Amino acid sequence: MNAAEVCNTNCNKVKVSNSGDSNSISEADVDVVQSPNDKRKYKVVVLDNGLRVLLISDLNSDPESSSECEKPCQDEQKNEDISESETDETADDVSDMEQDAIPSDGGKQECVEDGEKLAAAALCVGVGSFSDPPDIPGLAHFLEHMVFMGSEKYPDENAFDSFVRKHGGNNNACTDCERTTFCFDIERKHLKDALDIFAQFFISPLLKENSVDREINAVDSEFDMSKTSNSVIKQQLFGSLGKKGIPMGKFMWGNIESLKETPSTKGIDLYENLQIFHRHYYSAHFMTLCVQAKAPLDLMQSWVTEIFSDIPNNKTTQPSFYHVSDSFNTPDFTKLYQVVPVKNTNQLSFTWHMPCLRHLYRCKPLHYVGWLCGHEGSGSILSYLKKKSWALTVVAGNAESGWEHNSTGALFEVNITLTDEGLRNYEEVIKVVFEYLTLLREVGASEQIYNQIKLVEDNDFRWKEKVDPWDYAEHLAEAMQLYEPVDYLRGSTVLYDWTDECKFSIESVIHKLLPSNCNIMVLSPSFEAQADREEYWYKTKYLVKEVPQSLRDPTAFRPRRQLHLPPPNDFIASDFSLKDPNTLYTKEPKLILNTSRSKLWYKQDRKFKVPKVCVYFHILSPVVSTSAKSQALLDLFLDILSHNLVEVAYNAYVAQLEYEFKATNEGIIIKLRGFSHKLHKLMEIIMDRIDEFDVSDQDFHTLNEQLKKNYYNSFIKPEKLARDVRLMLLENKSWTKVHKRAFLANLRKVDLMNFVSEFKRMSHIEGYVHGNYTVEEALNMELCVRNRLRNDALPQAMLPVERVTQLPVDDSVVRVKSFHEGDTNSTVMNYFQVGPADISKFVTLELLNAIMEEPCFDILRTKEQLGYSVFSDMKNTSGIIGLTVTVSTQASKFSVKLVDEKIEEFLLEMADRLDDMAAKEFNTHRDSLIAVKRCDDSSLQEAADRLFTEIRDKTYLFDRLDKEVEELEKLDLEEVVSLFHSTLGTTEGNLRKKLSVQVVGFGEKETGVPVKAETFSAFSQSTPVDLSLCQGLATDCTVKSSPSSESSNSSDTPVTAPLATTAPLAATEDTELYDFTHLEIDPAVEGCRSFLTVDDLHKFKCGLSLHPVSKIL
């Protein structure tokens, strides 16, 4: 019996009830297929008003365990995890880790067996931006914003957000082409009340007319933030290439022009149209609802019947666009477009449009073809292009929903990240792709390939673990719009058995992928000078060319011999047995190896009972933290290592054995996870590549240039630059990507090879193995790492230690001009330093942040309308805690100075709220945080990640959340108020240490910052400086707040600068720095220069300069 057959024999019967009576007899039984590893109970209900509901009871779903029960801690709503590990939104961004952030739930802990779980709900309306009126683009998105602005029963426009946040949850919504989804999570005991408030948004929303202008501003800010996304601008341009009036050609975001200015000019009443749109489309029979809670199914059914049955059903036909055919059958579509992207990247994109194929989800022909075109192993498109140094990545396929797959049709895309050499030869790259498609047409659909894909998907479904309740509810509410009830849980991944219909469907798709009906876009900044056209909404510049006839004839492309189908995959697991319990089992990780070269922690899983394992190795070395140059070398090393592994390790990835590398200020983290059967083979391949590390001259040059682009693509984002600057000023081993990028120009291959050699030799290993492994298998993993590194035994004193600058008791500012010319987006990140993170102070600040989150958003975003992204957040910077208030705004609307003032006004109001807070309200916040800390880990990986964080940070407090709960239970309101007044308050005599990092966009609200930079060079050459002398190995010294700030009460207060050295700055022929002209001190600050150079920043970093941080008068 194969895995698919096992799934079908273990499915639950889900009752489908067509009555509003919760005790009604169901009219049909549906075999909803769920994973045998999923012990939750499901029930489908159809209310009298037509609302389809999926109920999920998580009441007794945990695998049986003895006394082990572990909890949650990541808040997926946050941008940063407990160590502020950040991964950028796109593949060409740089992923880096910093020891800096804490989610509001503060981490995870071991707990009582009957652990808490957050409840979650999601409601999906089967209507989206495709239904926007032609004269009001963005109306569906705007309505999504307006719906949450109060209801007749609960008129306070902030009632829902306040209630949910007060009880440990969050809420959000999103608008897609044909769906709009609203989600929230909350403590289980408050779910019913939250559902009642939530349902009223769809029963009787106020849609307040006096909120219209404010929410238009919010939509406009969201639109401005989207301008930095290559995928967004490309999508808008692509939509303009189709027939006039097609749904995919609409402007779906909305902005002030489309929602206010143009309707006003045309005499269109926006508010009236908003109400009409809501009445017509927000109908119960268009909606699907998913609710998950630790509660009985019958109880949840009674709730949703009582609460949601009053959503009106207008009996209209749900909008569908299947009648829209051949949307892109136009002469413009099949031309070649040279496009100027937002980011510094070279990309080649192929797109085919075909009829909607959603009815074929059981065999997924687009997935099959995408799997082959996007393969990275031997014989693939990428394998060939990499050998020619023409490409770095290939991504192919279809997302199965949204923009890429909707009722108007389906897109099949092949997106290739080109090197500079690949850009020069992009016509040859086009030929390679068309030759591979010729190969697929010649061999036809392969049953062997299909069954290999199916086997991997079946294994994944068979052993599927829980995910965050919010994510699960949102996914299923949307899946209910697409699939039959039997496939609600697996419709997005299921592959049914191979049939003639599968073969026919796949081959039909392959034969549609011809050169003659393909759209080709080439994206590169190098096209800017020649671009003679501009897309209307995003002002994207582009050039249109005819595709050479030689690239249109399908018979001209004979597959070259290097292209072939992938061989069988020997990484696919076949042994899913669970290891016998061993005598070393402990509730917490156990240290099973401790030598001068390595340490290894181990924990066998007895809770989740899946044949999987998570493996972590933190390789620490003093050579990575000596300078910005050494950190750039580390990033380059990991990029090249990943590049070298792609082809040999891709089969492991396909078999769902995952690996990940992260650079830290202390070294690198190697993380592996997946089925335990063959994970050791993947580790051996990785360590062999590290042991035998080498790189060709061509690859060195290519990947060095790509890293420059990645750095640039990161620091053009204001929020990321603000974060970089803040951490550089605080941490002795942190440098901005601007600084790291400066060193790449003169790096040589020999520099890298010497660095890697020293890194391996001068390293210390600390590992953790968690899951379905024996002690012997865990020790073998460590031996594999140690034998390949051949590291020396390092004395404790040589291991890297992170140190943090103590800010002065004062208000300090550093102002930075945006690197993105013409971008109006600005960021103000106000950081308030508290001190060392003992448990008591940690939970006090964490609770303070939990109390501040909702009013921060309500006041600065909803009421003041300063920007779309507004939040407070707790930070743990290498053991020193603090709190930030961050506002992303636009220089066309507000100056950073005004935003900073508004944040100060918010803090004054927050002080009054805390002073007036009743004990009952405080207890609600405290109890909510306690409940969140008692929530269960949802998966093996979540539990392992939580425990490894303690090992990585060298805190080893594996029962952290137990201790935090103990402290929270003793905490009173006076302690929280006292902490606020001393660290964030503005009253005289406080100990506030504020650092305001401000990244200034281009706009009329910023004096001296032009809307368009006329003479602007981000990297004009300056005096070279050897930063390797500033190694942070000398004695401490102090830096004072600017002595010119005479009004400062603490101008003589020392700032601890443990990284300082008195070594002179000297130039060498191997280093080159650039003028960092974007750093600007507030001109009002007396005695401070207007601009800072790289030299200034490095002198400050070394304790030799006072310029970057100065008091605001």
**SS3 state of residue 335:** coil
Residue 1075 confidence (pLDDT) above 60: no
Which two tokens mark 60?
């007794």
Residue 822 φ/ψ region, left for φ over 0, alpha for ψ in the -120 to 50 degree band, beta for the rest: left
Residue 1026 confidence (pLDDT) above 60: no
Among the residue ranges 17-31, 413-427, 661-675, the one predicted with the least confidence is 17-31
Query: In angstroms, what CA-CA distances link 923 with 106, 968, 970, 1086?
Result: 18, 10, 11, 46
Q: pLDDT > 90: what percent of the chain?
A: 77
Q: What are phi and psi of 50, to 5 degrees?
A: 95, -5
Q: Which residue has the tokens 């005790």?
A: 23
Pairing mode, if any, of strands 96-97 and 347-354?
unpaired
What average pLDDT score do residues 723-744 get? 92
pLDDT tens digits, 839-870: 999 999 999 999 999 999 999 999 999 999 99
What average pLDDT score do residues 248-274 get? 97
Which pLDDT does position 1041 carry in this prediction? 28
Q: pLDDT > 70: what percent of the chain?
A: 82
Pairing mode, if any, of strands 41-46 and 12-17?
parallel
Which two tokens mark 191?
């779910």
Which pLDDT does position 1101 carry in this prediction? 58
- At a CB cut-off of 8 Å and minimum separation 6, what does 157 contact? 148, 149, 150, 206, 208, 211, 862
Which pLDDT does position 1070 carry in this prediction? 30
pLDDT tens digits, 962-986: 999 999 999 999 999 999 999 998 7
pLDDT tens digits, 406-465: 999 999 999 999 999 999 999 999 999 999 999 999 999 999 999 999 999 999 999 999
**SS3 state of residue 250:** coil
* Contact call for residues 676 and 772 (beta carbons, < 8 A): yes
- Rounded to the nearest 10°, the torsion over CA 793, 796, 800, 802 is 160
CA 547 – CA 589 distance, rounded (Å): 61
Residue 1040 confidence (pLDDT) above 50: no
Which pLDDT does position 990 carry in this prediction? 79
pLDDT tens digits, 1043-1057: 222 333 333 332 333
- Dump the DSSP string for 428-486: HHHHHHHHHHHHHHHH---HHHHHHHHHHHHHHHHTPPP--HHHHHHHHHHHTTTS-GG
Which pLDDT does position 108 carry in this prediction? 35
CB atoms within 10 A of CB 1078: 20
Which pLDDT does position 599 carry in this prediction? 97
- Rounded to the nearest 10°, the torsion over CA 574, 575, 576, 577 is 160
pLDDT tens digits, 577-629: 999 887 677 889 999 999 999 999 999 999 999 999 999 999 999 999 889 99
CA 432 – CA 380 distance, rounded (Å): 10
Which pLDDT does position 796 carry in this prediction? 87
HEC string of 344-395 equals CCCEEEEEEEECCCHHHCCCCHHHHHHHHHCCCCCCCHHHHHHHCCCEEEEE
What average pLDDT score do residues 145-154 get? 95
- At a CB cut-off of 8 Å and minimum separation 6, what does 385 contact? 391, 394, 416, 422, 429, 432
Does this model's pTM top 0.95? My answer is no
Instruction: Please list the active-site residues.
Output: 144
CA 786 – CA 594 distance, rounded (Å): 13
Burial environment of residue 456 by CB neighbours within 10 A (0 to 12, 13 to 18, 19 or more): buried
> Higher-confidence residue: 83 or 601?
601
pLDDT tens digits, 339-371: 999 999 999 999 999 999 999 999 999 999 999
What average pLDDT score do residues 892-897 get? 95
User: Among candidates 376, 371, 367, which has minimal Cα distance to 399?
Assistant: 367
Which pLDDT does position 95 carry in this prediction? 34
Query: In angstroms, what CA-CA distances link 959 with 100, 223, 964, 966?
Result: 21, 44, 9, 11
What average pLDDT score do residues 888-893 get? 96
**SS3 state of residue 787:** helix
pLDDT tens digits, 35-68: 999 999 999 999 999 999 999 999 865 544 333 3
Among the residue ranges 68-82, 385-399, 801-815, the one predicted with the least confidence is 68-82
What's the residue count for the chain? 1113
pLDDT tens digits, 910-930: 999 999 999 999 999 999 999
Which pLDDT does position 1110 carry in this prediction? 39
> Higher-confidence residue: 1066 or 566?
566
Which pLDDT does position 514 carry in this prediction? 97
CA 796 – CA 818 distance, rounded (Å): 42
Which pLDDT does position 1009 carry in this prediction? 53
Residue 1091 confidence (pLDDT) above 50: no
